[in-house]
Chain A
């Protein structure tokens, strides 16, 4: 394994552990108060989730058209991470909404398309796990179609009025909140990169194992 991993891992753990402390020192938001602090974990997770989905889609299309097994491993790792971070987004979101909107769930465009995207990647993992031979290609197709699907879901659900805070919230953050927010984004991104590398390595080792089994059978 690479020598850089342990250093990066320590750094990620340090950043991630420091995040709650830094968030605690961030100023209170005027209207929402304490519950607004969920935002510091919710938004970075959402960013990581979308990045991960994008990586999975691109890696899947590379795998489909160029038949690179490495791309498939990255796609599989990214799909699993999309599901993990998507779960975080989908749980922290309602916890915030309960206080801010008064309801746990809203059928607005952003929430619904996030949920559906998450479901597409859960389906990806299910196909991969239970699809039998040829499941890699099937799941790659699922990822490519799922990516193309996201704008459609967004448009079609957008007819129902959107009440989710828009992405413009981030640039308009108060100066005191900007630091902690980007700190959290950094720590999430670093963690994501590490997890992706480790998870892709697991997939690599599984491929090696498969290869070794074939060798053992031949003898």
Chain B
């Protein structure tokens, strides 16, 4: 039942997205322009700044993620559909999981465009340990979205939600950014430091477990008016 509700909520979001593609297109475009801005700032005489690739990748993911979260819930607010969802006689944590899955999937698609672009523009060896890189991105995205989905859902009712989301989200997700950037930077070394990347990945996985649990737990009281 729980998984079915989560699945249905995710499918609902994805169906809307597949029909309009609004969030996907705008987020991808935003992420690409983000990387380009960094490229103009940090590539000097055709040579990118050393060690910059990992940082730029994760900053772009975080920025694009904030945008996607804001847009996804703006859509829900516009037609009061979140309230309808909350009124549905299902477990609320399942709704949270559904929204989370939708956002993670969306961000993974964005990253599929973003990462090769960063590799291209900043000479980052993204093919060093592809599986480990994917795992880092996956865990990082889940961690970022877990906190982001909860806060964005709460902010639906709030005033000045566009400003509040980054204010709340960035301090809390600092460990994700640190672990993601350091882990990816370890992979981008000429000789990839696999054990270090694995350690960061473990930290990310642990962060995911704790924060998804905490969100599931607090979603119910937080969304009760």
Contact = CB atoms under 8 A, between A and B. Distances in A.
Query: When A and B assemble into the complex, do they touch directly, with CB atoms less than 8 Å apart?
Result: yes
Interface of A: 64-65, 67, 116, 119-120, 123, 126-127, 130-135, 137-138, 141-142, 144-146, 148-149, 152-153, 155-157, 159
Contact of A144 (B167, B174, B218): B218
B210 interface: yes
Chain A binding site: helix, strand, loop or mixed by DSSP? helix
B51 to A, nearest CB: 15
Interface in B188-225: 203, 206-207, 210-211, 214, 218, 221-222, 225
Contacts of A138: 151, 154-155, 158, 164, 168, 222
B47 interface: no
Given A64-B218, A123-B168, A127-B167, A141 B178 contact: no
Given A145-B147, A148-B211, A156-B203, A116 B158 contact: no
Interface in B157-203: 157-160, 163-164, 167-168, 171-172, 174-175, 178-179, 182, 203
Given A64-B222, A148-B214, A159-B182, A130 B172 contact: no
A155 B175 CA distance: 9
Given A130-B159, A131-B158, A148-B211, A65 B171 contact: no
Contact of A156 (B163, B164, B175): B175
A146 B210 CA distance: 12
A149 B168 contact: no
A66 B115 CA distance: 45
| CB-based closest 5 A-B pairs | A132-B159, A152-B175, A156-B178, A156-B175, A120-B171
B110 interface: no
Nearest to A142: B168
Nearest to A140: B222
B56 interface: no
Contacts of B221: 64-65, 67, 137
B168 A144 contact: no
Interface of B: 147, 150-151, 154-155, 157-160, 163-164, 167-168, 171-172, 174-175, 178-179, 182, 203, 206-207, 210-211, 214, 218, 221-222, 225
A153 B167 contact: no
A65 B158 CA distance: 20
Given A138-B222, A153-B174, 9 more contacts: A64-B218, A116-B171, A123-B171, A127-B164, A131-B159, A133-B159, A134-B154, A134-B158, A145-B147
Contacts of B211: 145, 148
A113 B167 CA distance: 17
Given A127-B168, A141-B151, A133 B157 contact: yes
Contact of A132 (B147, B160, B172): B160
A25 B60 CA distance: 55
Given A64-B221, A148-B210, A126 B167 contact: yes
A156 B222 CA distance: 28
B203 A155 contact: yes
Given A132-B158, A134-B158, A135-B158, A141 B175 contact: no
Contacts of B225: 134
B175 A153 contact: yes
Nearest to B200: A156
Contacts of B182: 156, 159
Contacts of B155: 138
Contacts of A65: 221
Given A64-B218, A127-B164, A155-B203, A146 B171 contact: yes
A157 B181 CA distance: 12
With most chain A CB atoms within 10 A of its CB, the pick from B160, B182, B203, B218 is B218
Contacts of B203: 152, 155-156
A130 B154 CA distance: 14
Contacts of B178: 153, 156-157
Nearest to B163: A130
A141 B179 contact: no
A157 B147 CA distance: 20
Contact of B172 (A67, A120, A133, A155): A120
